[in-house]
Amino acid sequence: MDNFEFLRNVTIGQYFAGHSVIHRLDPRAKITLVMMLVIANGFLFSYSGNLILLTICCAAVLTSGISFRFMLSGIKPALPFIAFLAVMQLFFSGRSYRPFGAPLQIYWEWGVLAVSNGSLELVIITFMRFLEIFLLVSLLTGTTTITDLTYAIEDMLRPFQRLGVPAYEISLIGTLALRFVPIFAEQLEIIMKAQAARGADFAGWGPFQFVKITRQLARLIVPLFVDAFRRAEDLILAMEARCYTGGRGRTHLARFRMTRLDRALLAVMAAFVVTLLYFRNQLWF
């Protein structure tokens, strides 16, 4: 806390610049591809199904040129929870989880606990599915800037405006959050430093100093909120001065263009996922 550097922790979905095929895909295509794979992930419970998906994810990561190690380092903080969940699943789902395409075989039991090929499969499949989602999302944010993602989502939601979906407003919320989170982080730093300069003690925020931390937080939140409201007022004026009247009727700069590669990939992936899901119960193991 004594370091005061909050911007250090503001790395949402770390982006790695590059020129790979994946980087150059239309962001809207990328989002759609990821969505398709996530849907597939939701319905596949077999080893073979997940092996196929995992292979696709790993191949994509390799193509992007982003180091596996960087990507996987993001899992580290979650490992304790994953391990805990795995242990719970292993011992408590022995009797309830039916393994895919094979009869239930209990290896060990003791009262309520039971380890079986079912619970083992559950642990492994859960981990594989988690890994797939993790890789897909990291790949998406790793090869697409948040700005591009925001505009892509706006683009994709725009056709639904006719049905009352406020596409632009949603996108605006995202953009403003992105713009102002670093600004507020900086502002918070200044506020903390100003109070520290008057003798406030921010060092030693131990785990049990609830009262102290709460009181200090209150003193930080007030000026931060005042600042936020002031900025909001300014922003509203500026937007009105530039004729903002909501998302209806707005045009936009042409930002993305789908290439043949994008369309081809989308078609191939769609066909593949449909086939995979259709035959998911006929897979070998």
Partner 1 sequence: MERVIIRAQDVYYSYEPGAAQPAWALNGIDLEVYAGEYLAIVGHNGSGKSTLARHFNALLTPSRGEVWVNGLNTRDARHRLAIRSTVGMVFQVPDNQIVATLVEEDVAFGPANLGVPADELKRRVDWALQVVGMQKFRRQAPHLLSAGQKQRVAIAGAIALQPQVLVLDESTSMLDPAGQEEVLDAVRRLNQAGTTIIAITHFMHEAVKADRVLVLENGRIAMQGSPRQVFSQRDRLRELQLDAPPMADLAARLHARQPSFPPDLLTVEEMALEISRRVGRRREAGG
Partner 2 sequence: MDERQRLFAQVNDLHHTYLRGTPLETVALRGVSMQIRTGEAVGIIGRTGAGKSTLIQHFNGLLRPRQPGRVIIEGQDMSDPTLDVRALRQRVGLVFQRPEQQLFERLVGDDIAFGLKQLGLPADERRARVRWAMELVGLDFDRFRNRFTFSLSGGEMRRVALAGVLALRPRVLILDEATSGIDPRGRRELLTHIAEWRQQSEVTLIIVSTNMDEIAELVERIYVLDDGRVVLCGTPRQLFADPVVLRQYGLKVPQVSALVHRLSELGVTMPRVPITIAEAADDVWTILNS
**Beta carbons within 8 Å of 270's beta carbon, 6+ residues apart:** 36
Amino acid at position 202, single letter: F
Amino acid at position 199, single letter: G
Among 78, 113, 183, 271, binds partner 1 (CB under 8 A): 183
Cα Rg of the chain (Å, integer): 24
x/- map, 1-30, partner 2, by CB under 8 A: ---xx-xx--x-------------------
x/- map, 198-237, partner 1, by CB under 8 A: ---------------------------------x--xx-x
Tokens of 25: 């895909």
Q: State the SS3 of 112-142.
A: CEEEEHHHHHHHHHHHHHHHHHHHHHHHHHH
Answer with the entry of partner 2, partner 1, none that 184 interacts with (C-beta below 5 to 8 A by kind): none
Amino acid at position 128, single letter: M
Q: Which stretch binds partner 1 (CB under 8 A): 61-69, 83-91, 107-115, 248-256?
A: 248-256
Is 66 in contact with 143 (CB distance < 8 Å)? Answer: yes
Give min distance, CB of 164 to partner 2, in A: 39
Report the SS3 class of residue 81: helix
With tokens 């996987």, the residue in question is 72
Q: Which is nearer to partner 2, 38 or 185 (CB)?
A: 185
CA angle 141, 147, 151 (to 5 degrees): 105
Answer with the entry of partner 1, partner 2, none that 244 interacts with (C-beta below 5 to 8 A by kind): partner 1
Residues 165 to 204 in contact with partner 2, rule: CB under 8 A: 190-191, 193-201
Give min distance, CB of 236 to partner 1, in A: 10
222 binds partner 2 (CB under 8 A): yes
Is 63 in contact with 33 (CB distance < 8 Å)? Answer: no
Which chain residues interact with partner 1 by CB under 8 A?
A: 146-147, 150-151, 172, 175-176, 178-179, 182-183, 231, 234-235, 237-245, 249-254
Which chain residues interact with partner 2 by CB under 8 A?
A: 4-5, 7-8, 11, 190-191, 193-201, 218-220, 222-223, 226-227, 230
